């Protein structure tokens, strides 16, 4: 029995990756939940907005790298991030202007807007593939680890190593900063408050003189910014592939719905619930259990509940359970 090594193995293989993944999902889910709260539809194009922004960031990163510009120990992609956000915001606002605004004026039902966003999703899907192709791209550079497993082992003398990748550290730090800034904006600024008011009671917001066009515009800008940040962080941490980003839509929606659609705090909590569930269910627990259990009880198999190929199923199951038993989510969002 060796609890310390078990704990380190748990941290290394479950907690750290899940926290980073949860932060990425949370950022994605925040965008989805804001769009849902203000524009009142589920934006299926969100995953591909992430993909588009990330593709732009990757291309810019290539440009910077070939120009010999780096960001020291940090990934060059972070330098490209602001520009990628600006480009994506432009695309999203253009989409709103030529597509969504038409349906908004018609006061289209949410179900129609969802299908419209599905169409936008397919278009963006195509644009991303035209821009960067369908292949996998690895664009993380700079220092690979904050703490490497080897260093950790020599420093502590433990058998198990704890590695923290630079991308994981960056993900968590960025997520904290972005979320703090977003909540400050929503709670303290005039525009942020008007967004919450609009989300809470649209008619009364109009009676109070809040300009709906401006609220919608700011919402798109923030959602696009969050999408690109989430996408680039995910791509740095793992890798970029257009299809993977399309698939991210499911855990992101699951996170937003588990937390309660329209509720930003719920989106963050939901992101971590989904991420931890996915990692815990698909992790092979043999190593941790071998440390914890007496030799006679040591497991023979991998003790992996589900193959990683099925990790999307985890989001699905959680989604179904939440919709069956708590349709408004953990933090009382709007019921769909």
Partner 1 sequence: MAEPFLIGDAMTGGYGAVDILHGCTVAVEKGQIAVIVGPNGAGKSTAMKAVFGMLKLRGGKVRLGGEDITGLSPQARVAKGMAFVPQTHNIFTSMTVEENLEMGAFLRRDDIRPTMEQVYELFPILKTKRRQAAGELSGGQRQQVAVGRALMTQPKVLMLDEPTAGVSPIVMDELFDRIIEVARTGISILMVEQNARQALEIADKGYVLVQGANRYTDTGKALLADPEVRRTFLGG
Instruction: Using CB under 8 A, list all residues that contact partner 1.
Output: 190, 193-194, 196-197, 200-201, 203-210
CB of 205 to partner 1, least distance (A): 7
Q: Rounded distance, CA 188 to CA 165, Å?
A: 34
Are the CB atoms for 329 and 258 separated by under 8 Å? yes
CB of 187 to partner 1, least distance (A): 9
240 SS3 class: strand
Q: What is residue 270's DSSP assignment?
A: H
- Kindly tell me which of 208 and 308 has the beta carbon lying closer to partner 1: 208
- Kindly tell me which of 159 and 206 has the beta carbon lying closer to partner 1: 206
- Kindly tell me which of 144 and 332 has the beta carbon lying closer to partner 1: 332
Structure tokens at 8: 């380190």
Contacts of 266 (CB under 8 A, 6+ apart): 33, 256, 258, 259, 260, 329, 330, 331, 332, 333
CB of 145 to partner 1, least distance (A): 43
CB of 270 to partner 1, least distance (A): 18
E runs forming strands in 175-304: none
CB of 208 to partner 1, least distance (A): 5
Burial grade of 204 (CB within 10 A; 0-12, 13-18, 19 or more): exposed
Are the CB atoms for 266 and 333 separated by under 8 Å? yes
Q: Rounded distance, CA 235 to CA 327, Å?
A: 31
- Kindly tell me which of 37 and 47 has the beta carbon lying closer to partner 1: 37
- Kindly tell me which of 67 and 207 has the beta carbon lying closer to partner 1: 207
């Amino acid at each position: 029995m060796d609890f310390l090594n078990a704990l380190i193995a748990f941290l290394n293989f479950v907690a750290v990756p899940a926290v980073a993944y949860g932060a990425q999902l949370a950022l994605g889910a925040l965008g989805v939940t804001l769009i849902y709260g203000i524009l009142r539809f589920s934006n299926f194009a969100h995953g591909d907005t992430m993909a588009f922004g990330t593709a732009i960031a990757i291309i810019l990163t290539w440009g910077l790298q070939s120009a010999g510009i780096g960001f020291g120990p940090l990934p060059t992609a972070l330098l490209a991030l602001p520009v990628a956000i600006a480009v994506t915001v432009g695309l999203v606002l253009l989409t709103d202007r030529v597509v969504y605004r038409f349906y908004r004026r018609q006061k289209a039902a949410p179900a129609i807007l969802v299908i419209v966003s599905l169409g936008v999703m397919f278009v963006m899907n195509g644009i991303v593939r035209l821009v960067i192709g369908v292949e996998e791209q690895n664009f993380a550079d700079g220092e690979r680890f904050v703490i490497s497993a080897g260093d950790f082992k020599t420093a502590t003398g433990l058998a198990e190593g704890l590695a923290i990748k630079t991308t994981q550290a960056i993900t968590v730090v960025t997520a904290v900063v972005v979320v703090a800034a977003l909540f400050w904006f929503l709670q303290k600024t005039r525009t942020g408050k008007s967004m919450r008011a609009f989300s809470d009671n649209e008619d009364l917001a109009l009676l109070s003189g809040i300009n709906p066009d401006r609220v919608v515009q700011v919402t798109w800008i923030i959602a696009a910014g969050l999408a690109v940040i989430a996408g680039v962080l995910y791509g740095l941490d793992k890798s970029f592939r257009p299809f993977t980003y399309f698939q991210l839509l499911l855990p992101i929606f699951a996170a937003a719905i588990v937390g309660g659609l329209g509720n930003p705090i719920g989106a963050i909590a939901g992101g971590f619930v989904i991420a931890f569930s996915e990692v815990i269910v698909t992790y092979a627990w043999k190593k941790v259990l071998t440390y914890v259990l007496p030799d006679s009880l040591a497991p023979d198999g991998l003790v992996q509940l589900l193959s990683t190929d099925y990790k999307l199923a985890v989001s699905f199951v959680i989604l179904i359970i939440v919709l069956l038993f708590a349709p408004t989510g953990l933090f009382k969002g709007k019921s769909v």
